[in-house]
Structure 1
Amino acid sequence: MEYCLAPLEHIAPAGFSLPANACDTHAHVVTDDTDAYPFVTNRSYTPPAAPEKRYLSMLEKTGMQRGVLVQISVYGDDNRYMLQVLKRHPHNLRGIGVVRETITDQQLREMHEAGVRGLRINVLFGGGTGFDAMETLARKIADYGWHMQFLLDARQLPELLPRLKKLPVPGVIDHMGHMPVAEGTNHPGFRAMQELIEHHGWWVKLSGAYRISEDFPEFKDVVPWAQALIATSEDRMLWGSDWPHVSITRMPDTGHLLSQLTTWAPQAAIRKKILVDNPATLYGFTS
């Protein structure tokens, strides 16, 4: 299996002044030690090394002080490397883990102490945990104040709504729903996202524009989509880089992706909510 493209070495300036304690809520780390941390055989892609040092450099270059690491699918439920990175940065990093239904309370407690604040359901790439496990896992994490994070295609949401609305924890939807923006904001999948945000306290990550757009590298077709989500509830929006941008054919500039926020949310006060206040609330960052 060929390696994915590597992220760009040069990162453009953000294009606006970031507020203090800005947070990138979606990135992955991949060690170059594949012997100690082997990839799962049923993975959908093979990422290049994107280790802790380079990840922290990306945060610095984009002007971010905080970050949320999401367990990458190629490691399956082997969260060891992510947890090690979290433990080295307890004040400014949090994590989203991937586990199976057999996870014990003791294991969850240890993950919480390391900085994990949610679990990911991933039905788009091999190595993830699927919908069958979500009710069981949601019950197990409810007392920790965690959430469930969903990598899915929002066109799946209408059918899933009855189950999702009953979960005892809030949900976070990755990459603005990971459905083509060409479907339009009147699509039932988009409407379902709005229902979860408005009536069930869910969150959406304003990330992965290049995964849902037909307009590389400007992504102008994403503007009405992102603005409609922000208008649904600016208090439930998060921003994520999705670095190191795996499993794509053209590599975006992470700084340019961040600069999109000036169009999606022209008001500095709303950008502060998306970059600082909302992540602090969801992931438990403190000053």
Structure 2
Amino acid sequence: MTTTLPSGACNAHCHVFGPGARFPYAADATFVPAEDAPKEALYALNDRLGLERCVVVQSACHGFDNRAAEDAVAARPSTYRAIALLPTDVDDAELKRLDAAGFRGVRFNFMGHLGRHTPIEDVLSLAARFAPLGWHLQIHGDPALLTDLAPALRRSPTPVVIDHIGRIDASQGIDQPDFQALLRLMSDERFWVKVSGMDRITRLGPPYADAQPFARMLVAEFGDRVVWGNDWPHPNHAGPLPDEQQLVDLIAEVAPTQAARQALLVRNPQQLYRFEDRT
């Protein structure tokens, strides 16, 4: 059964790749996609699925050159926003320029396959500089970081968004230390989590029965600090690529009430990404 999404539903995590002829991939990119995934394909997918709003997360394949993500937002300035990848010594003028262009935070990758990690103290120093813009930190990493970096992340001067249910291993169950570490972080009201990536944490495959309980618990316990995204076009995906409509339909399994879906898809993204404040 196809899930009917609320008006203003947001895909809060996806990417654009290229087109390479216009937005070249970074020379030192940790991965280069096999094919482009341009903004037109993203628009068409979101429109077909009923996702009226969107957050484009800068991809590591483009490095610190955020032009592809910026271009995707520019054509739909009221309903699209972006998250940047930036060096920690970026100047304040560039932060302000990106804010005006619709960027709302900076992502830092702590996954082994995405290259060298930025020192966490440098991350926090940058966060202090973009805090006046109302931006947030977005953290993507190995589950161990939820324990290893937790003391530092709790000192963040901005909200912190944890990607993809913390990239835990769904086969290890709700009581596993990694998920318990995520729950402890979420007890701090400055932390948010993306209940995206069930297809990444599953060990059973679709419809991700082993992963659903984690997302369902996060929505139930922290309903005002969860957002959802489909992670299109699923970079560095280890298993078969998910069916996009199935991902949308599974929203009803993890957010079973209309009120929960309204918060997950509309109210929370509005607060975090500030839609409709640009013309």
After TM superposition, the score normalised by the length of structure 1 is: 0.90
CA RMSD of aligned residues (A): 1.7
User: Who is 2:166 aligned against?
Assistant: 177
> Given the superposition, is the C-alpha separation of residues 240 and 128 from structure 1 closer, same or farther in structure 2, using an over 3 Å criterion?
farther
- Which of 18, 28, 47 lines up with 2:15 in the alignment? 28
Could you tell me how far 1:81 is from its partner in structure 2?
Answer: 1.3
Deviations 1:42-86 (A, max 9, x none): 414534211011000010111011000000011111101111221
* Pick aligned residue for 1:43 from 17, 30, 47: 30
1:91-102, aligned counterparts within 5 Å? Answer: 91-102=78-89
Identity of aligned residues (%): 32
Shift of 1:35: 6.4
Contact 1:149 1:174 in 2 (8 A): yes
Tell me the CA shift for residue 190 of structure 1: 1.5
Cα pair 2:17 2:61 within 8 Å, conserved:
no
Does the Cα contact within 8 Å between 2:55 and 2:81 map onto a contact in 1? yes
Counterpart among 109, 112, 120 of residue 107 in structure 2: 120
Question: Which runs of 5 or more structure 1 residues have no equivalent in the other structure?
Answer: 1-13
Matched, 1:266 2:256: yes
2:219 corresponding residue in structure 1: 230
Matched, 1:197 2:186: yes
Of stretches 76-85 and 54-63 in structure 1, the one that deviates more from structure 2 is 76-85
Note the residue ranges of structure 2 that are not aligned, 5 or more in a row: none
Q: Deviations over 1:89-136 (max 9, x none)?
A: 110000000000110000000000000000001021426763433112
Task: Verify the 8 A CA contact 2:198 2:212 in the aligned structure 1.
Answer: no
1:100 and 1:128 mapped to 2: Cα distance? 12
Deviation readout 1:187-215 (Å, 9 max, x if unpaired): 23212222222223211111111110012
Partner residue, 1:81: 68
Partner SS, residue 269 of structure 2: helix
Secondary structure of 1:192 counterpart: helix
Equivalent pair of 1:86/1:94 in contact (CA under 8 Å)? yes
> In the TM superposition, what is the alpha-carbon distance from 1:23 to its structure 2 partner?
0.2
Q: Which residue of 1 aligns with 2:90?
A: 103
| Conservation of the 8 A alpha-carbon contact between 2:23 and 2:67 | no
Q: Is 113-122 or 130-139 further displaced after alignment?
A: 130-139
